[in-house]
Amino acid sequence: MSTATTSTQSDTAKALAKAGPAADYLDRRTGIGKVVREFARKVFPDHWSFMLGEVALYSFIVLVLSGFFLTMYFVPSMGHITYPEDQLPVTMQGVGMSEAFASTLRLSFEVRGGLLMRQIHHWAALLFVAAIVAHMLRVFFTGAFRKPRELNWLIGFTLLILALLAGFSGYSLPDDVLSGNGLRIADGVARSIPIIGSYASLALFGGEFPGTDIVPRLFTVHILLVPALIVALVTVHLILVVVHKHTQYPGPGRTEKNVVGYPVLPVYAAKAGGFFFVVFGFLALLGGLVSINPVWIHGPYDPTPVGAGAQPDWYMLFLEGGLRLMPGWPEFVIGGFTLSLNILIPGVVIPGLLFTTLAIWPFLEAAVTKDRGEHHVLDRPRNAPVRTAAGVSVITAFMVLNVAGANDLVATHFELSLNGITWFLRIMFFVAPVFAFWITKRICLSLQRRDRELALHGHETGRIVRMPSGQYLEVHQPLTDEERWVLVAHEADRMLEIEPPEDENGVRRPGYSADKQRLRLSRFFYEDRVEPVTPAELAAEMAAHGVHGDSEQPAIEEPGGLRDTFARAEEEPAGVTAGRDARNNPPSS
Amino acid sequence: MKALAASRRHRLAPVVLLLLALILTGVAYSAVTSEPATAQTASQEEIEEGEALFRSNCSTCHGLDAQGTDLAPSLVGVGAASVHFQVSTGRMPMANNSPQAERKDPQMNEEQTAALAAYVASLGPGPAIPSADQVDPEQGNAANGMELFRANCSMCHNAVGAGGALTEGKVAPPLDEATPTQIWEALRTGPQSMPIFNEAAITDQGARDVIAYVMEQREVDPGGISLGNLGPVSEGFWVWIVGIGGLIGLAVWIGARSS
Amino acid sequence: MSTNRPSEELTSTAGAHASDVPERFVDPGLEPHPVRLADRSPEGAKRVERQVVGVLLISILASIGGIVGFFLIPVGTTLMDVRLSTLVLGLGLGLGMLGIGVAAVHWAKALMENAERVEKRKPVLSSPEVREEAVEQLTTGIEESGIARRPVLKGALVGAAALAPLPFVVPLVGGLSETWDVNKFRHTAWGDVPDGTGGRLPDGTMGRRLATDPEGRPIRAADVTIGSAFAVIPHGLPDEENYLEEKAKAVVFMTRIDPNELTVSPERRDWSYDGIIAYSKVCTHVGCPVALYEQQTHHLLCPCHQSTFDLANEAAVVFGPAKRALPQLPITVDTEGYLVARSDFHEPVGPSFWERER
């Protein structure tokens, strides 16, 4: 093997020697050597869940490339023309439509690769937002937003909002009936805003709906404003990742002070670069095989038609669902002015609450836990039960709204009453998240207890051994040090401890009531918890020779924990050795 | 000559003249007006066969003389087209009383259906079964059909006729199995929840255009696999399950150790 | 008997002493590097290399196939051609890209030197010396500007900077709409009767005729049979200026209900004609066209958010997120038997807005 290494090393040296003058040229003019030295062998940890952000980034690149192709043919004008009689599709021949719609049809049916590019672009847009959401969920559930990454979380949040804006503006560009009705709904929501709503509606559409300005304006937003902001923010986002270094999952050899993984050259570059081609290829295959947004089916926008099953793209579905579930009675006329809470609540208030909570979560969690340390090792979601439960709870509410947005499709496919579904989901919107929170927290705590059991007893092998004394025991495979480390490395979050209400002179201290509130909150979050196994517990466990001793301190808050769970009826073994009790304990302990 | 002059002054002369005038007018009228567009005029035995079928299959709910009961509406005046539609799509006889009559395998063959239709048509005038010419999609303009369809039909049936939900468990069914005749009949008779689209709303040529449009939707989808034409919801499902799911699978493969 | 084998740090005697045992477990360090096929044998390495090359060959063939397909398959002829072209180009581009990606990843996983490396993290925080220097530089800079000693200058600068963007922002925002007259929402084309679009009412006034949408034929009252549905626009609307904007407010749904089943309030007695009723099709929730008419229940359903209106009861809301009934178009018959509108709607159509009731 060593001869092979030397020969490859000399091959590399030869290759580098050839590159020498070019590298020298560049370095003299840009100082690039410093960057290469810093970056070329930088270590990045390797886990599939770290690639979700990459999916988003690569989808964005595909969007820009395919979008460029589309701009070569799309005409962002609402001027009226008549579709030629001899062009496909047959159902549009001679129909009056806007230039935007006509150019979209021409692109789809008359330009080779046009329909492919449109479909790649739309699939990439859906994937872009989905990947951002998946990435955000990964960051949330592993606690990667903690110090020093709070600002990066805010940047990521802004990128999510920009992605939503890009998607909405993009699918409204072809000026078809489906997206046109979406714009009409947006107009209705804008109008409902108090005081400025009517003016906002006029401003958006350059006059009364539909006007001729909305498509050209959305075009500028879609190809210039939003992409520029996305590029700028993604750059800052990635720079921060490099500066902070990527987080890593807990494991042997991984600490808060190091990064364990692969160097950029060659492995990470090959894997991440290869993944770019994988995502691109995947999107191209989707675009070539599966039809998406067939605008010729909806037809050019006109105020009369609307299709059954009128939904926006998936990332807007939660807004649609909110509008569908909200009952109509909370619209009030006060002093002659109309306040439409039936639209404002689902259209403005609920998304506002959702997005605000998302944005401030790192700061909220830090305030409750009073955690001021830097965190580079991720949490396993089960070890942060309240955070995980809160996240699942919000996802549940989000999913209820999504299902509500598709309630008419649910009605036809499952042969249910539309009105029944709506009522059911109205109730579920309040009940399901609470239930989800409770059950997720319980599951996390149970998983932590299972980890404790695993750490203390090792893997169950299913092999039963009969001792000479007649006793039956199950053989447990002990954990390796590495396996156990993952289970015990974390710190359980503990309740806050606050100072006593009165100081030594009996004077009540000023910050006490605030502290009492914090303690109440902290108790809600952390009273139920499971501590990781300590070496003392493991030693005590083994001293009792795998049989559950009753001398150790119970490590679990609630009564009847580990002991009761695993209390097996111990048979009276035949011929018990004198001095040992029924549990085979030696007399001294 | 004297006899003719004498008969002109006969007291029954005006009566004879009147009869002649009536006969003349009647003949002239029937010569000038076109035949109503029915395939063939029903014979008396067809009507009797239809009546027998009606008594055994339909009268339980629709009444012995089709005058309607609490369970089902009157069929007087619904016309042959209505009966042909309901029976040829299998909706009638209904399996059980529910808000929506579902399309299923027809229980009667063409001959029995025609007989039933003839019987009900004999109870009162109503829309007739169209001729093949009236429902010929080749004579319809699919583009005009598109404009009519989306103004009148797509809000219930979906932009390509994939079906849609109404209130309280009722549906506007998908149109992928409907024949041109059945589309015409549904338009003109307004079955169940569907309103009636008469000649003033959609002309005869307009109906042919709509039929041409519906038939055109059965052509190949140029974009590829069509996901049911249900719109962004199915696309969203696909992108999460196949897209994110598939890419996570690939990411797991990338991150896993190689042997 | 337990078969756990204790590790180095722990004792196995009964009653372990607390002082021997650490408070928490310690990190066991990196796992040993697993040996791969390519590491073990040169033939294995060769095989992986062949696999990678194979995948790259597929990629090359696919890319070429896509280009060939571009030239050979026409578009614009039949739907099948468009589908085929999309498919072949998509497969070519897709497999071409995917092949490169799969090859690169397989190469990295199976062939490249891939021992895990450990790198130290440097604290993000700048060192105290750097911070001190930075603070010093900032302070010196601000001192030298003298701004701290000149509050008037600071105030004037802030004031000017706050106002300077306004000559850009105000024209931008102010010009966003061609009109700021919110009262336009209150008026629809039904209130106007251009030449040739109206019919004479018995009292001599002219009313805008109702016409079918999209073909624009005027409608006779006698043609509107019980249970029939009509999509209606004002006669002659497509020839008007701002056709779509006016249509967006003027679309109407018309049907006929047996007068015995209709509830008509006293002030609306002459708004319908013998059971023929016409209502605005613009949903009072957020503006979608409401047109799903259930003939038997007389309910009009909006497909967007499922607001349901009872047309037998003056379009009152019976389900869903709308609050207000659909505005009714007062109609009657002109001297020639065609349906005409008596006047414009008596309230603004469509979604609510702040000034609606004023």
Q: Which chain A residues are Cβ-neighbours of C10 within 8 angstroms?
A: 535, 538-539, 542
B44-123 in CATH: which number?
Answer: 1.10.760.10
What is d(CA B153, CA A61) in angstroms, rounded to the nearest whole number? 41
Out of C213, C244, C320, whose CB is closest to A210? C244
Kindly tell me if the per-residue pLDDT of A246 is higher than 50.
yes
Whether the upstream peptide bond of residue A84 has omega within 30° of 0, thus cis, is: no
pLDDT of residue A329: 93
pLDDT of residue A573: 39
What percent of chain B has a predicted confidence (pLDDT) above 90?
Answer: 46
Fold topology of B137-216: Cytochrome Bc1 Complex; Chain D, domain 2 (1.10.760)
**Are the Cβ atoms of C85 and A42 closer than 8 angstroms?**
no
**Are the Cβ atoms of C86 and B224 closer than 8 angstroms?**
yes
Kindly tell me if the per-residue pLDDT of A229 is higher than 90.
yes
Whether the CB-CB separation of C147 and C138 falls below 8 Å is answered with no
Kindly tell me if the per-residue pLDDT of A509 is higher than 80.
no
Kindly tell me if the per-residue pLDDT of A563 is higher than 70.
no
pLDDT of residue B96: 79
- Reported as a pLDDT band with limits 50, 70 and 90, residue A567 is very low
What is d(CA A381, CA A370) in angstroms, rounded to the nearest whole number? 19
Kindly tell me if the per-residue pLDDT of B33 is higher than 90.
no
Mean pLDDT is lowest, of A562-571, B89-98, C261-270, for: A562-571
Q: Where in chain B is the domain with CATH 1.10.760.10?
A: 44-123, 137-216
Domain ranges of chain C: 37-110, 129-159, 185-341
- Could you tell me if C140 lies within 8 Å of chain B, comparing CB atoms? no
Kindly tell me if the per-residue pLDDT of B79 is higher than 50.
yes
Out of A184, A267, A303, whose CB is closest to C108? A267
Strand ordering across the sheet containing C316-319: C292-294, C299-301, C308-310, C316-319
The mean of the pLDDT values for chain B is 87
What percent of chain A has a predicted confidence (pLDDT) above 90?
Answer: 62
Chain A residue with Cα closest to C4: A478
pLDDT of residue B259: 65
pLDDT of residue A198: 95
What is d(CA C296, CA A441) in angstroms, rounded to the nearest whole number? 50
Please report, to the nearest 10 degrees, the dihedral formed by the alpha carbons of residues A272, A273, A279, A280 taken in order.
170
Interval C244-272: pLDDT, tens: 999 999 999 999 999 999 999 999 999 99
CATH superfamily, domain at C185-341: Rieske [2Fe-2S] iron-sulphur domain (2.102.10.10)
Whether the CB-CB separation of B36 and B42 falls below 8 Å is answered with no
3-class DSSP assignment, residue A183: helix
pLDDT of residue B5: 67
Q: What is the mean pLDDT of residues B232-255?
A: 94
Q: Which chain C residues are Cβ-neighbours of B147 within 8 angstroms?
A: 214
**Are the Cβ atoms of C323 and A484 closer than 8 angstroms?**
no
Which residue is associated with the tokens 């349901």? C308
Q: Which residue type, as a one-letter code, is found at position B122?
A: S
What is d(CA A542, CA A281) in angstroms, rounded to the nearest whole number? 54
What is d(CA A360, CA A366) in angstroms, rounded to the nearest whole number? 10
Touching A: which chains, 3+ CB pairs < 8 A? Answer: B, C
Q: What is the mean pLDDT of residues A421-437?
A: 96
Three-point CA angle A7, A12, A14, nearest 5°: 95
Kindly tell me if the per-residue pLDDT of A402 is higher than 90.
yes
Query: Which pair of tokens denotes residue A145?
Result: 């937003």
pLDDT of residue A191: 95
Backbone angles phi, psi at B8, to 5 degrees: -65, -30
pLDDT of residue A171: 96
Q: Which of A79, A227, A92 minimizes the C-alpha distance to A163?
A: A227
Alpha carbon distance, N-terminus to C-terminus of chain A: 57
pLDDT of residue A577: 39
Q: Which residues make Cβ contacts (< 8 Å) with residue A436, sequence separation at least 6? A: A389, A392, A393, A395, A396
Mean pLDDT is lowest, of A43-57, A113-127, B10-24, B220-234, for: B10-24
CA distance A555 to chain C (A): 14
Residues of chain C under the 50 pLDDT cut: 1-18
pLDDT of residue B32: 64
Kindly state the DSSP code that residue B153 receives in the 8-state scheme. T
Distances in whole angstroms, Cα of residue C262 to Cα of each of A43, B116, B172, C243, C309: 77, 34, 25, 33, 14
Inter-chain contacts counted by CB atoms under 8 A, chains A and C: 398
Q: What is the mean pLDDT of residues B44-65?
A: 88
Backbone angles phi, psi at C277, to 5 degrees: -125, 145
Whether the CB-CB separation of A166 and A209 falls below 8 Å is answered with no
**Are the Cβ atoms of C296 and B192 closer than 8 angstroms?**
yes
pLDDT of residue A10: 74
Q: Which residue type, as a one-letter code, is found at position A470?
A: G
pLDDT of residue B42: 66
The mean of the pLDDT values for chain C is 90
- The DSSP code sequence of A452-519 is HHHHHH-EEEEEEEE-TTS-EEEEEEPPPHHHHHHHHSSPPP-------SB-TTSPBPTTHHHHHHHH
Interval C155-210: pLDDT, tens: 999 999 999 999 999 999 999 999 999 999 999 999 999 999 999 998 999 999 99
Q: What is the mean pLDDT of residues A111-135?
A: 97
Interval B128-156: pLDDT, tens: 999 999 999 999 999 999 999 999 999 99
Q: Which chain B residues are Cβ-neighbours of C319 within 8 angstroms?
A: 167
- Could you tell me if B40 lies within 8 Å of chain C, comparing CB atoms? no
The pTM assigned to this predicted structure is: 0.88
Q: Which residues make Cβ contacts (< 8 Å) with residue A448, sequence separation at least 6? A: A382, A383, A385, A530
Query: Which pair of tokens denotes residue B117?
Result: 């239709």
Q: What is the mean pLDDT of residues A157-179?
A: 97
Out of A130, A312, A317, whose CB is closest to B239? A130
- Reported as a pLDDT band with limits 50, 70 and 90, residue A363 is very high
**Are the Cβ atoms of C112 and A42 closer than 8 angstroms?**
no
What is d(CA B156, CA B171) in angstroms, rounded to the nearest whole number? 8
What is d(CA A144, CA A356) in angstroms, rounded to the nearest whole number? 18
pLDDT of residue C20: 64
pLDDT of residue C297: 93
Distances in whole angstroms, Cα of residue B116 to Cα of each of B50, B93, C12: 4, 12, 94
Interval A10-39: pLDDT, tens: 777 777 677 788 888 888 898 888 888 888
CA distance C80 to chain B (A): 6
**Are the Cβ atoms of A130 and B147 closer than 8 angstroms?**
no
